[in-house]
Chain A
Amino acid sequence: MAIQANPVPAAPVDDRKVVLVAEDDPFISRMYQIKLESAGLRVIVKANGRDAYEAVKLNAPSLLLLDINMPELTGLELLSALAGDNFDFSTMPVMVLTNSSNPEDRKTAQSYGADYLVKADYTPREVLDMIQTKLGINPVAPKTA
Chain B
Amino acid sequence: MIIADELEGGKRKELLEHHDLRISTMLRTSEDFIGYLLIGDKLSGDVYSDQDIKVLEIISRQLAVALQNAKAFAEIKEFNVTLQGRVEHATNRLRIANRHLKELDQAKDEFISMASHQLRTPLTTIKGYLSMLSEGDAGKLTAMQNQFVGYGFDASQRMVNLISDLLNVSRLSAGRFIIQPTPTDFVKMVSDEVRQLRSHAEAKKIALIFNPPAEAWPLVDLDDNKTRQVIMNFIDNAIYYTPSGEVRILLSRTPKSVHFEVHDTGIGVPRKAQGKLFGKFFRAENAQGVRPDGTGLGLYLAKRVVEDQGGTLIFSSTEGKGSIFGFDLPAKASKPVKQGGNHGHTSKSRTRRTSR
Interface: B116 (CB within 8 A)? yes
Q: A35-B137, A102-B113, A120-B124 given as contacts; is B349 within 8 A of A112 (CB)? A: yes
Considering only residues 252-297 of chain B, those with a C-beta below 8 Å from chain A are: none
> Which residues of chain A from 46 to 105 have a CB within 8 Å of any chain B CB?
80, 83-84, 86-90, 93, 99-103
Q: Which residue of B lies closest to A81 (CB)?
A: B344
Residue B11 lies at the interface, judged by CB distance under 8 Å to chain A: no
B124 touches A119 (CB 8 A): yes
Which of A83, A100, A123 is in CB contact (< 8 Å) with B346? A83
Residues on B with C-beta less than 8 A from A40 are none
Scoring B residues 115 to 143 as 1 if CB is less than 8 Å from chain A, else 0, what string do you get?
01100110111011101100101000000
**Chain A residue with the shortest CB-CB distance to B232:** A106
Q: Please provide the chain B residues from 84 to 139 with a CB less than 8 Å away from any CB of chain A in the complex.
A: 113, 116-117, 120-121, 123-125, 127-129, 131-132, 135, 137
Interface range for B: 35 or more
Select which of B129, B199, B344 is within 8 A of A83 by beta carbon. Answer: B344
Q: In the complex, what residue of chain B is closest to A90 when comparing beta carbons? A: B352
Q: A83 contacts B349, CB within 8 Å?
A: yes
The answer to whether residues A100 and B342 also contact, given A107-B225, A112-B349 and a CB cut-off of 8 A, is: no
B345: chain A residues within 8 A (beta carbon): 83, 111-112
Q: Give the CA-CA distance A124 to B129 in the complex, in Å.
A: 8
B160 within 8 A of A: yes
Q: Which residues of A contact B167 (CB under 8 A)?
A: 101
Min CB gap A81→B, angstroms = 9
Q: Is the CB of B117 within 8 A of A28?
A: no
Q: Which residues of B contact A113 (CB under 8 A)?
A: 195, 349, 352-353, 356
How long is the Cα–Cα vector from A130 to B117 in the complex, in angstroms?
23
Confirm or deny: B58 has a beta carbon within 8 angstroms of a beta carbon on chain A. no
Task: Report the separation of the CA atoms of residues A100 and B163 in the bound assembly, to the nearest whole angstrom.
Answer: 11
Q: In chain B, what residue has the closest Cβ to A104? A: B225
Q: Mark B146-166, 1 if CB is under 8 A from A, else 0.
A: 000000000000001001100
- A50 shortest CB reach to chain B, Å: 19
Contact across chains for A115 and B196 when beta carbons are under 8 A apart: yes
Contacts of A100 in B (CB 8 A): 113, 116-117, 120
CA separation between A100 and B264, bound complex, in Å?
Answer: 30
- Tell me if B18 is interfacial: C-beta within 8 Å of chain A: no
Please state if B196 and A88 are interface contacts (CB–CB under 8 Å): no
* A129 touching B355, Cβ below 8 Å: no
Question: Do B224 and A107 touch across chains, with their CB atoms under 8 A apart?
Answer: yes
The docked-state distance in angstroms from the alpha carbon of A115 to that of B202 is 15
Is B337 at the interface (CB under 8 A from chain A)?
no
Interface band, chain A: 35 or more
B231 to chain A, nearest CB (A): 12
CB-defined contacts of A108 to chain B, threshold 8 Å: 343
| Bound Cα distance from A38 to B138, whole angstroms | 11
Complex CA distance for A144 and B135, rounded to whole angstroms? 8
Q: Mark B219-232, 1 if CB is under 8 A from A, else 0.
A: 00000110011000
A111 to B352, CA, bound (A): 11
User: Are B346 and A86 interface neighbours, CB within 8 A?
Assistant: yes
Which of B120, B224, B343 has a CB less than 8 Å from the CB of A112?
B343
B173 beta carbon closer than 8 Å to chain A: no
Q: List A contacts of B344 (CB < 8 A).
A: 80, 83-84
Interface hub of B164, B229, B343 (most chain A Cβ within 10 A): B343
**A134: B residues at CB distance < 8 A:** 199
Contacts of B343 in A (CB 8 A): 80, 83, 108, 111-112
**Closest partner residue, chain B, to A82 (CB atom):** B349
A136 to B195, alpha carbons, bound, how many Å?
Answer: 15
Chain A contact residues, CB within 8 Å of chain B: 25, 27-28, 31, 34-35, 38, 80, 83-84, 86-90, 93, 99-103, 107-108, 110-113, 115-116, 118-121, 123-126, 129-130, 133-134, 143-144
30 contacts between A and B (CB under 8 A): A25-B121, A27-B125, A28-B125, A31-B125, A31-B132, A83-B343, A83-B346, A89-B352, A90-B348, A90-B352, A90-B356, A99-B116, A100-B117, A110-B192, A112-B349, A113-B349, A113-B352, A113-B353, A113-B356, A115-B196, A116-B196, A120-B123, A120-B127, A120-B160, A121-B160, A124-B132, A125-B131, A130-B199, A133-B203, A143-B203
The 7 A-B residue pairs with the shortest CB-CB distance, nearest first, are A99-B120, A123-B131, A120-B120, A103-B225, A100-B117, A89-B349, A130-B199
Q: A38-B137, A108-B343 are in contact. List 9 more A-B contacts (CB 8 A).
A: A28-B121, A28-B124, A80-B344, A111-B342, A116-B196, A119-B121, A119-B124, A120-B120, A124-B128
